[in-house]
Amino acid sequence: MEVNNSSERRTKQKRDPAWNYCEMYKNGEKVELKCVFCGKIFKGGGIHRVKEHLAGAKGDGGSPCMRVDPDVRRAMQENLSGVVGKRKKKQRFVDAEDELLIQNDITIEDEGFRNNYDLNTVDDLLRLTETIETNSDKRLNIEGASNEFNGEQSVGGMTRRRRRNLQENSANMEPVAIGSLKRDPAWKHCQMFNNGGKVLLKCVYCGKIFNGGGIYRLKEHLAGRTGNGSVCSEVQSDVRLLMQESLNVSGSVGKKKKKQKHFIEMPNHNAGNGAVQTLANGRDLNNEIDLLPETDALEENSDVFLNQEHEGNGSGGRIEKGQMGKASVLINPHKSHTLTADGNKAVGSKVVDNQVQMAIGHFLLYAGISFDATNSVYFRRMIEAIASQGSQVVTPSCNDLRSWILKNSVKEVKSDFGRFTGCWARSGCSILVDDWVTQNGRTLVKVLVDCPEGNLFLKSLDISEIRNPVDALYELLAKVIEEVGVRNVLQVVTRGEEPYFVCGKRLIDAYPSIFWTPCAGHCLSLMLKDFTKLDLISAILEQAKSITRFIYNHNVILNMMRRHTFGVDLVDIGVSKSATDFMTLNRLVSLKQNLQNMVSSEEWAESPYSREPEGLAVLDCFSSESFWSTCALISRLADPFLRLLRIVSSEKRPGMGYVYAGIYRAKETIKKELVNQKDYHDYWNIIHRRWEKLQHHPLFAAGFYLNPKFFYSTGGDMHHIRSHVYDCVEKLVPDPNTQDKIVKETISYQNGDGDFGRKMAIRARDTLLPAEWWSTYGGACPNLARFAIRILGQTCSLIGSKPSHIPLEQMHETKNCLEYQRLNDLVLVQYNWWLKERAQKIKEQEPVDPLLHANSRVAEDWLMKEEAYSDDQNISDWSTISPPMGNIMLLGSRADDFEALGVGFDDLEVLNGVSEEATDDKPAEFF
């Protein structure tokens, strides 16, 4: 196939946004489209089919794309819905026009009509209505149609223009705290304002402001119910489902429509088996409903307990429709779910949820499985598979799981290895080596292979009882390098500790074409850790930690806080302990106004905890402008480090081409914020001390040099960095002829000759990934392009977490050879499935409660009290805690981490730096 690179023609004619995410090929006379995310090729159907594929919509797009970015998928979904909406609006306008003409006996063929009116314009249609005299009960509201046609649709008595004006004036509105008496679940998803004595509600997802209608109207907005307002397009799917269930269960939809009572006949119970036999309704309800027998497991105060007042005594009782929630009803999944004539199935669905979820919960609690296992895609697949089989499902036995199911799973994982090995040969790969200490004090080492296609777990090693761990590490890594292929491996990434440093030196001596690279993420975490030891930061962190420990150890205060922050938690979990410190401090600054409102509310004043010493300390901190200003300063200083930490740990793109630029921006930010040279040099000395092993690493220098966005925006001499690039050429390219060609082609790249200087290439420096840019515009320099793609496709950081459910420790402790082999296969399957799920997640999971991490090292300082808990401290009740909602949209949109690095690297002091080790003759060098 021949690639169609006519980008100019596409820019002018191909206006659909889906064109930005596909490539066009010419195969003979046929034009084919290729998805840039998953590589799927479409031989027909046009751009609409690609758009459905990206949006995950059912239709002609076939299977949905599993690798598309969440933002792109959402944009395609909105575009698809927008096209349909425009067609519907236009059709309603045309229908209104036809209705007007028919009612007034006017035909389009009338010559005078054609000369005087053009119904393709709204003005002529409005002018036509003014000339027609009809009865008021027959007159059509053309003004409403024209408003709708012009995008001024009236919703709930307020046009979009008026609502837009109201939103523009929202800055003058005074926020009002939502009290504890607001029980409706929709209150957690809105903000309340006072605007001149009038109460307004604002959706926290899309920002729409409701001028009336109360919480019910907002609930319909979130639930996607048409009627009194437009539908929220930004709400999370789980929140939408919750609002829909709330509308159904409360019966408020039926009450809004008609105030009419329906009665349901409840016949006698069968004394023999205790089951209800039939359910009838005077309005001919659907009879395909199965009823569960009442059991002792149902508590008297539960929602599914049948109230004794409504039990029949021989002829059957009657209960009102609104009281159906007291009956134990189970809807047959293979039959109709209709309970009432208006389609209400709230009772059945609620009882089914309780029964099924309790059964699942019993199993998870008994087996000791982590609660967050329900977030796994494999858990959802299991539930869907069971539901599809109905009552015919047969559960596997223990022997089934240990034998043929595990065996088939191993085959599935290994069959996927071919996809990775092909990428290793094309783009190269990195060996990732990390260790951790188990609860029993054992030191385990894991080995993974990273490439642009993803991560693959290969081996693990227990070095706890090995006298010389360096030798063991070297033998393990040498074996892995031989398995992967020496020509495929560009680097071995480890931590920077002494054993890995010694092992890395031995590796590069044995394999001259491979680099040893200290983990950039670990280096950044150590910088942040050193920052926490500075007096200013240490004092503020201790104050902030005392606040969160007080809040997260008292259920009343925790619930109060979550109400005022609309479900956003204070503790923000990071990849390391130091990252969590600064991320949580930044979260506190973002919620400053909400927290100040909390401690100034009547609810806080009436709470007995507010008068305790810890509560008074919270009030003092939240009321102190000095505390908040210092927190804000520290957040600004740490922000570029946290941004770079997210970049090097990103699943979206490799971070090799961004490390140098990220460190420059961090130093630049510190200089701008602190101004005084002595002050910011204290921070710079920390950076230089930790950055020493990385600043002269050839791969990081080459990544900066080969990233066109940064290279072409850097002024001054770059001979230091170019020298590191030549080191990479000599080490990674064994053929001298190819080396010479690469060096020669760098001249064209430096001068911006040929395709490098095209206007499209210049624009694409900011829009394409660096490797994609070289693939697109590096055709005239093929050797340099292949070299650049291999380097820019590498990671520079280890994967920061390990799944706790994988039995690595159990595998290394077993003394039975057969069981060791079985556990080794089990670890291989579980670890690679975890990596695959981690990489393929296309949307955020439900918000994670920080209390889940209370015992983890990264968050214990923010959640755990200094003294151990005792039963005498009857201060909290975990069962009353409100779950976090995670409405992080309240914090505002965060700039893209990669875009925030910007361009321009011209500050010589930032480039050269000054450290304690520097002399007047030779300053410390950044490059």
384-429: pLDDT as tens digits: 888 888 777 888 999 999 999 999 999 999 988 888 888 999 899 9
More confident site: 476 or 718: 476
Average pLDDT (244-255) is 63
Confidence of residue 870 (pLDDT cuts 50, 70, 90): low
Report pLDDT digits (tens) over 209-220.
888 778 888 888
pLDDT of residue 80: 82
Domain boundaries, the chain: 2-68, 155-247, 260-366, 411-518+799-840, 520-657+681-695+844-885, 698-797
Cα(475)–Cα(139) distance, integer angstroms: 88
Confidence of residue 696 (pLDDT cuts 50, 70, 90): confident
Lowest mean pLDDT among 235-244, 269-278, 493-502: 269-278
Report pLDDT digits (tens) over 790-831.
999 999 998 766 676 788 888 888 889 999 899 999 999 999
- 3-class DSSP assignment, residue 290: strand
Lowest mean pLDDT among 248-252, 412-416, 663-667: 248-252
Q: Single out the residue of 908, 906, 900 nearest to residue 924, CA to CA.
A: 908
Report pLDDT digits (tens) over 135-192.
333 333 434 443 443 444 444 444 455 445 445 555 567 777 777 667 788 888 888 8
Report pLDDT digits (tens) over 119-128.
444 445 445 4
Task: Give the β-pairing of 329-330 and 429-437.
Answer: unpaired
Cα(666)–Cα(644) distance, integer angstroms: 9
pLDDT of residue 227: 64
pLDDT of residue 338: 36
Q: What is the mean pLDDT of the chain?
A: 76
Average pLDDT (569-596) is 92
pTM above the 0.75 mark? Answer: no
Lowest mean pLDDT among 70-84, 90-104, 820-834: 90-104
CATH code of the region 411-518+799-840: 3.30.420.60
Contacts of 193 (CB under 8 A, 6+ apart): 170, 173, 174, 175, 176, 199, 200, 201, 202, 209
pLDDT of residue 892: 64
Percent of the chain with pLDDT strictly greater than 90 = 35
Report pLDDT digits (tens) over 607-646.
999 999 999 999 999 999 999 999 999 999 999 999 999 9
More confident site: 621 or 347: 621
Report pLDDT digits (tens) over 258-275.
444 433 333 333 333 333
Produce one character per residue of 722-737: b if its CB has 16 or more CB atoms within 10 Å, e if not: bebbebbbebbbeeee
How far from the centroid of its chain's Cα atoms is residue 357's Cα? Answer: 25
Residue 434 has pLDDT above 60, yes or no: yes
Confidence of residue 1 (pLDDT cuts 50, 70, 90): low
**What is the DSSP secondary-structure string of 51-118?**
HHHHHT-SSTT-SPPSSS-HHHHHHHHHHHHHHHHHHHHHHHHHHHHHHHHHHTT--TT-HHHHHH--
